[in-house]
Amino acid sequence: MRRHEHNVRHNARDSLRQANPNAKQLDILLHVAERVKLEWCEESANTVAASNEDPLFDLVHGLPGTGKSEVIAWIRELFEVVLGWTHGTQFVCLAFQNATAASIDGNTIHSWAEIQSRKGGGQRQ
């Protein structure tokens, strides 16, 4: 095992020890981890361009207080701290509303995609 890969696994293991996900949260985290593993293998083998896999697009939704923001924070920790990725470059966290986007330190879908929400710069017509 290469030294960098060992360090990544060690950091990820430490992060998960501090987390206490419920069963549904753990399912999401394992899903993301499997995809990261696949992309890492493709990158290591220099086969990214030949991959038939689409980018990972997932939606985390649920009732208030079910742990959505916590799951997103754990995923961001994996991406930023463990893998050294940058939000807005290798991944992006999006939300429908400003308050939610702020709580996950992300962007609204409209702002990220540069979509104006109303004609005339926000003025109702």
The number of distinct structural domains making up the chain is 1
CB 18 within 8 A of CB 70: no
Q: In this structure, is residue 109 part of a structural domain?
A: no
Q: Which domain holds residue 7?
A: 3-91
* Predicted pLDDT of residue 10: 57
Report the distance separating Cα 74 and Cα 16, nearest Å. 8
**Digitized pLDDT (tens) for each residue of the chain, 125 residues in all:** 455 555 555 555 565 556 789 999 999 999 999 999 998 888 889 988 888 888 888 899 999 999 999 999 999 999 999 889 999 999 999 999 999 999 999 999 999 999 987 765 555 44
Please report whether residue 12 resides in a domain: yes
Q: Is residue 99 part of a domain?
A: no
Residue 121 is assigned to a structural domain of this protein: no
Predicted local confidence at residue 125, as pLDDT: 47
Q: Which helix (H) or strand (E) holds 51?
A: none
Q: 96, 107 in Cβ contact below 8 A?
A: no
> What distance, in Å, lies between the first and last C-alpha atoms of the chain?
61
Residue 19 lies in a domain: yes
Within a domain: 53: yes
Distance separating alpha carbons of residues 77 and 57, to the nearest angstrom: 18
DSSP for 83-110?
A: S---BTTTB--EESSHHHHHHTT-EEHH
SS3 57: coil
